[in-house]
Structure 1
Amino acid sequence: MVPLGYLLKFIEEDAPLGDVTSDAIIPEVACRAVIRAEQDGVAAGLLEAAALFSHFGVDVQQDIRDGEPVQTGNVLLSLSGDAKKILLVERTALNIIGRMSGIATQTQKMAGLVKAENPHCRVAGTRKTCPGLRALDKKAMALGGGDPHRSSLSDGVLIKDNHLILVPVKEAVRRAKAASIYRKIEIEVENADDALAAAQAGADILLFDNMTPDSVRTTIHGLEQAGLRDRVTIELSGGITAETIREYARTGADVISLGALTHTVRNFSVTLEIQK
């Protein structure tokens, strides 16, 4: 779970001076409530929501585990305690569950499409996350069966086109390897010639960026002919959708990364119901 202090900042943002509505009209009264799914999908963010409610003295029963499938109407969390505290945390908890479950559900869908065509290919995320929410977004992807990829620029070496404008590929790889022998070197390429040059320079991972399935196949064949295919991991990225991902999976790539898992999130619908 992400640190509680990280989560409490969301409450401070939503209620910097308290919940003026509940404070004005709700007496000191205990109640029960449930958080319920309003669609089918994959649950995520329940541990974080439960931690917030617990911090404010609300008793929480987690009826579903993060990463488990849920159906419309399923109870995710059961709550009991001070009504004001439940209402204070309500929207923040629902926002966390909704966003994380949306990411987990979409990730599982994409991973399923890929596995049906290529059981050895993995689906991964990118750094195209909402600033401040990356820890939650990355966890949600993992719960949906995806690889979270780099969490930050500090996690791994990824030499992209703008780097290569400033430093030639061979020199870039040499410098990256000199900086650390413990990190794999990934290089973004856009065509067969670039891929061959990057592999010959000693790259460990080739990121095929915005290439068509046919171009991917041709490039992989060229690497095989040069005896370099087995030395590199091949990752595909750039404009891949649910409609095209199966064809990309059939190319024989090892990883397909999708920024859309986190930059275009479809919220998972959940509701909190107070029980009198």
Structure 2
Amino acid sequence: MLPTDQLLSFFAEDVPAGDITTLALVPDRVVSARVEAREEMVLAGVEECVWLFEHFGVSVTVAAEDGSRAAAGTKILGLAGPVHAILSVERTALNLLGRMSGIATATAAAQELASQVNDHVRVAGTRKTAPGLRYFDKKAIRIGGGDPHRDSLSDAFLIKDTHRALLPVADAVRRAKEYSAYHKVECEVESLIDAVAAAEAGADILMFDNMTPSAVHGAIAALAARGLRNRLVLEVSGGILPETIHLWAGVDVDRISMGALTHSVRCADVSLEIE
């Protein structure tokens, strides 16, 4: 279900007291317009755009769906309705469409690169999203074929270095499991010793953070030797970029988390043209 109240708050931020330029210059009348891609992209945010335009009385025809690949010049939406509504909604809709499509495109590209090396690995997002945009950022990752990871601190346990600075790894895992049997326990580790300790304590997921591929490979071999590898989901994180993702996919992990998918997103280029 779309968070429609949030969509309306985005619009209200941009149009707190009317679009004064459009009101001053353009008599309101019915016009036709189109939203189109200006570069190749994986589309995400189409559903949000449709809702916004329709909410303000614009008739929308969807020419390209979320998840589809669009070439430069591809028509995404056809619009017909009051010009004041179309021009007032334009920037809010295009900002969401551009950001979400940029995330989906980057995710799809990273997943393709990783899959060329490892056919079972999935690229994952992180909580490094812009405040207020997490739902949309995570949705875009899913549309791009990635794993959204945790939506919030309430979803699953993730024992980080800041927790491990306060108590030993094994104790942290045990306390988490005692706290709730209904949430996965993930533990961030930075060494072979911590990886084994967390696994033996019952962690469900190990996140190898800021380790080299060779160090991760050695840790996985140690887990396998102890019969622990097959009951764990293994994840790597820490400054992973498209240029280096093949190195991480090659060490037999299950997830590659990339904060860059959302904290450094480049918006896809989309435009609205009056016809």
Q: Same fold (TM over 0.5)?
A: yes
SS at 1:77's partner residue? strand
Give the whole-Å Cα distance in 1 for the aligned partners of 2:139 and 2:90: 21
Whole-angstrom distance in 2 between the partners of 1:184 and 1:191: 21
Q: Distance in 2 between matches of 1:91 and 1:14?
A: 8
Identical columns (%): 54
Q: In the alignment, is residue 139 of structure 1 matched against residue 139 of structure 2?
A: yes
> Aligned-residue CA RMSD in angstroms?
0.8
Does residue 238 in structure 1 map to residue 275 in structure 2? no
The residue number in structure 1 matching 2:74 is 74
Answer with 53-62 or 171-180: which moved more: 171-180
For residue 96 of structure 1, give the secondary structure of its aligned residue in structure 2.
Answer: helix
* Aligned counterpart, 2:87: 87
Taking the TM superposition and a 5 Å limit, the aligned residue runs for 1:12-91 are 12-91=12-91
**Partner Cα separation in structure 2 for residue 194 and residue 178 of structure 1:** 20
TM-score (normalizing by structure 1): 0.98
Which blocks of at least 5 consecutive residues in structure 2 are unaligned? none
Q: How does 1:173-192 map to 2 (within 5 A)?
A: 173-192=173-192
Runs ≥4 in structure 1, deviation > 3 angstroms?
none
Kindly provide the amino acid, as one letter, of the partner of residue 199 in structure 2.
Answer: A
Hey, what does 2:266 align to over in structure 1? 266
User: CA deviation digits over 1:1-37, x for unaligned, max 9?
Assistant: 5221110111100010110111111112110000010
Q: Write the distance in 2 (CA, Å) between the matches of 1:251 and 1:69.
A: 30
* Distance apart, 1:225 and its partner CA: 1.2
Structure 1, gaps ≥5 residues long: none
TM-score, normalised relative to structure 2: 0.98
How far residue 169 of structure 1 moved from its aligned partner, in angstroms, is 1.9
- 1:84-121 CA distances to partner (integer Å, 9 max, x unpaired)? 00000001111000000000000000000111110111
**In the alignment, what sits opposite 1:253?**
253
* Aligned twin of 1:149: 149
Q: Tell me if structure 2 keeps the 8 A contact 1:2–1:135.
A: no
- Cα distance in structure 1, aligned partners of 2:133 and 2:217: 36
Report the Cα offset of residue 170 of structure 1: 2.1
Aligned-residue offset at 1:65 = 0.7
Aligned to 1:212: 212
Aligned residues: 275
The question of whether the paired residues in 2 share the 8 Å contact of 1:36 and 1:76 is answered with yes
Q: Structure 2 CA distance, aligned partners of 1:36 and 1:174?
A: 52
2:16 is paired with a residue whose SS is coil
Name the aligned partner's letter for residue 66 of structure 1. D
Alpha-carbon distance in structure 2 between the residues aligned to 1:57 and 1:20: 19
1:166 Cα offset (Å): 1.4
Determine whether 1:100 maps to 2:100: yes
Q: Secondary structure at the match of 2:116?
A: helix
1:247 to partner: Cα distance: 1.4
